[in-house]
Amino acid sequence: MADYKAPLRDMRFVLNEVFEVSKLWAQLPALAEVVDEDTASAILEEAGKVTAGSIAPLNRSGDEEGCSWHEGAVRTPAGFVEAYRTYAEGGWVGVGGDPEFGGMGMPKVIGAQVEEMVNSANLSFGLYPMLTAGACLSILNHASEELKAQYLPNMYAGVWAGSMCLTEPHAGTDLGIIRTKAEPQADGSYKISGTKIFITGGEHDLTENIIHLVLAKLPDAPAGPKGISLFLVPKVMVNADGSLGERNALSCGSIEHKMGIKASATCVMNFDGATGWIVDAPNKGLAAMFTMMNYERLGVGIQGLSLGERSYQSAVDYARERIQSRAPTGPQAKDKVADPIIVHPDVRRMLLTMKALNEGGRAFSSYVAMQLDTAKYSEDAATRKRAEELVALLTPVAKAFLTDMALETTVHGQQIFGGHGFIREWGQEQLVRDCRITQIYEGTNGIQALDLVGRKVVGSGGAFYKHFADEIKAFTDSADASLAEFVNPLKDAITNLEQMTADLLERAKANPNEVGAASVEYLQVFGYTAYAYMWALMARTALAKQDQDDFYVSKLGTARFFFARLLPRIHSLTASVKAGSESLYLLDAAQF
């Protein structure tokens, strides 16, 4: 596999030239004090060096060795402890953390680029700091000042790690039926008892302590999701002076043996009367969890993008070097016995598909991250509300569409290698295996589609959707004639999405099955339309600068490919949505 190189040029293009993020930061006083274009550039440059130099070399060896479990202890693969120490000492675990507790305080749009780099370098490694950052976010927004002061500094510093303990053997998506119990104690603490599964980073040897956030139910809790509370449960008890005390009453029962992300410890965690403290108020656990979820689900989408980027880098290098057959138009490399496979139309189709989906995904994930920053930092209530509603609408799209496109992308990368793509030494098959989980965890992509259509579109009466549609229409209405080749198909796409949304809203009133029947294809149409908006924005910038640099010429060519070959996919998907739910219910269960 080719060495990983952080795509800093494209990241800067998206942030500085397309979105002009420094203008957004200037409007948000809390960010204006900590970041500007030069600071951001330096951070990304250094992150690129750390991820490429210290973390990427461990990707294949980590996959080969995997994690090991022995009598409750988990060991990560060779080199992970040292690499994690390097990463933590650079402040990268707390890149988006609150400066009051030792974090860098960077906006999410910068954190998103760092996440992409670390996950491209090594997804298994990247999961450890990602879960810590997610736990920190919930603690910061919902825990008491005492808990924040006691736990956040060491978590941001990477001295302690974090985990989120949600899923149980019988309760995945339906968290309302969890059985883990929390018994109140006289000193204000709680005794937590129960079993959690699929816990990323639940046990490992990277840090001296792991701070678990555990969903559980109080004895008098109401039934269902309204009765869930969240508790902070340390692996090792923390003394009043901040030193570590005795081991808490919890253990790792085993680790899973998985298709991919083998260097990430996926644990069964047993809590046997473990001491914990409530986060937020009783029965408010889901609210605290969902504070983290919007960030984590975008983060999973970025994981997909990361793997697609890594696959593309290897595939394009291979396609330039591998010689096989002659070009349809005649020999191109006349000094060789055959031409590089990059001359062949189908190889170009796959490479351009990868490039278009990766670069569209980078722009879209950055756009969603900017909405998160606006929602968090804006001092204007109306601006905050609009951003919050856009985040709610776009988060399931970012999680599901980016990861669906990532599987297509990594499979293309493997295919370009031919038989070598099936061989472990070349690295492409690992990216396919690692990518597959991104469509499943943090809420399966089918659940994301239901969330988009049922809660965010139908549930808001189309109000959330209107923010996004109106923004796209304002862009197309203001675009000049030079952008017609990009703007006209974007207009058609948003008109199609508008009509499909109105039709679905109407059909859902009469038949609840319509939402579930349409949701996956609807999300896909939404995703391609969102990417079309991103590509039109990028084309506008590139068109004005195409005489300056081949980078902009490449960007324009990729934009034209997207509109010509990928955006038309919406037509067959729209036909599926219009077909309705009837055909899904023609068979009884016994007839399957």
Note the pLDDT tens digit of each residue in 202-247.
999 999 999 999 999 999 999 998 999 999 999 999 999 999 999 9
Cβ neighbours of residue 159 closer than 8 Å, sequence gap 6 or more: 88, 207, 208, 209
Coil, strand, or helix at residue 469? helix
Q: Which tokens hold the place of 159? A: 């001295």
Task: Give the whole-angstrom CA distance, residue 463 versus residue 458.
Answer: 9
Q: Does residue 505 carry a pLDDT above 90?
A: no
Question: What's the pLDDT band for 173 if we cut at 50, 70, 90?
Answer: confident
Residue 162's pLDDT is: 98
Q: Which residues of 96-125 are buried (b: 16+ CB within 10 A; e: fewer)?
A: bbbeebbbbbbbbbbbbbbbbbbbbbbbbb
Consecutive H or E run containing 319: helix 285-321
Cβ neighbours of residue 396 closer than 8 Å, sequence gap 6 or more: 297, 443, 448, 449, 451, 452, 456, 523
Task: Give the whole-angstrom CA distance, residue 554 versus residue 473.
Answer: 26
Residue 304's pLDDT is: 98
Q: Are 448 and 396 in contact (CB under 8 A)?
A: yes
Calculated CA dihedral for residues 292, 298, 300, 306, nearest 10 degrees: -140
Q: Is 46 exposed, middle or buried (0-12, 13-18, 19+ CB in 10 A)?
A: middle
Residue 287's pLDDT is: 86
CB atoms within 10 A of CB 483: 18
Q: Are 165 and 266 in contact (CB under 8 A)?
A: no
Residue 299's pLDDT is: 97
Half-sphere exposure of 328 (CA within 13 A, CB side): 6
Q: Which of 143-147, 459-463, 534-538 has the lowest mean pLDDT?
A: 459-463
Cβ neighbours of residue 65 closer than 8 Å, sequence gap 6 or more: 77, 78, 262, 263
Mean pLDDT over the full length of the chain? 96
Task: Give the whole-angstrom CA distance, residue 318 versus residue 141.
Answer: 46
CB atoms within 10 A of CB 53: 14
Q: Which of 89-93, 272-276, 283-287, 299-303 has the lowest mean pLDDT?
A: 283-287
Q: How many residues does the chain have?
A: 592
Express as a percent the part of the chain with pLDDT over 90: 95
Cβ neighbours of residue 59 closer than 8 Å, sequence gap 6 or more: 121, 122, 123, 124, 125, 427, 430
Residue 289's pLDDT is: 84
CB atoms within 10 A of CB 30: 15
Q: Are 536 and 487 in contact (CB under 8 A)?
A: yes
Q: Which tokens hold the place of 102? A: 């030792």
Consecutive H or E run containing 274: strand 266-279
Averaged pLDDT for residues 8-12: 98
C-alpha separations of 115 from 154, 469, 497 in Å: 20, 28, 31
Residue 396's pLDDT is: 98
User: Which residue in 442, 485, 498, 514 is the catalytic one?
Assistant: 442
Residue 120's pLDDT is: 98
| 582 flagged as catalytic | no
Residue 352's pLDDT is: 98
Residue recorded with tokens 């919406």: 570
Question: What's the pLDDT band for 93 if we cut at 50, 70, 90?
Answer: very high
C-alpha separations of 392 from 225, 451, 569 in Å: 19, 9, 25
Q: Does residue 335 carry a pLDDT above 90?
A: yes
Task: Give the whole-angstrom CA distance, residue 326 versus residue 106.
Answer: 50
Q: Does residue 126 carry a pLDDT above 90?
A: yes
Residue 230 pairs in a beta bridge with 215, 279
Task: Give the whole-angstrom CA distance, residue 448 versus residue 401.
Answer: 9
The dihedral sign for the CA sequence 147, 250, 169, 180? negative
Residue 420's pLDDT is: 98
Residue 293's pLDDT is: 81
Q: Does residue 557 carry a pLDDT above 90?
A: yes
Residue 209: what are its φ and ψ, rounded to 5°? -150, 155
Coil, strand, or helix at residue 70? strand
Q: Does residue 2 carry a pLDDT above 90?
A: no
Q: At what angle do helices 345-377 and 513-545 cross, to 10 degrees?
A: 100
DSSP 350-416: HHHHHHHHHHHHHHHHHHHHHHHHHHHH-S-HHHHHHHHHHHHHHHHHHHHHHHHHHHHHHHHHHHH
Q: Which tokens hold the place of 131? A: 């879960």
Residue 550's pLDDT is: 97
Expressed in percent and rounded to 5, the helix, strand and coil fractions of the chain are 65, 10, 25
Averaged pLDDT for residues 178-187: 97
Cβ neighbours of residue 7 closer than 8 Å, sequence gap 6 or more: 309, 362
Express as a percent the part of the chain with pLDDT over 70: 100
Task: Give the whole-angstrom CA distance, residue 398 versus residue 302.
Answer: 8
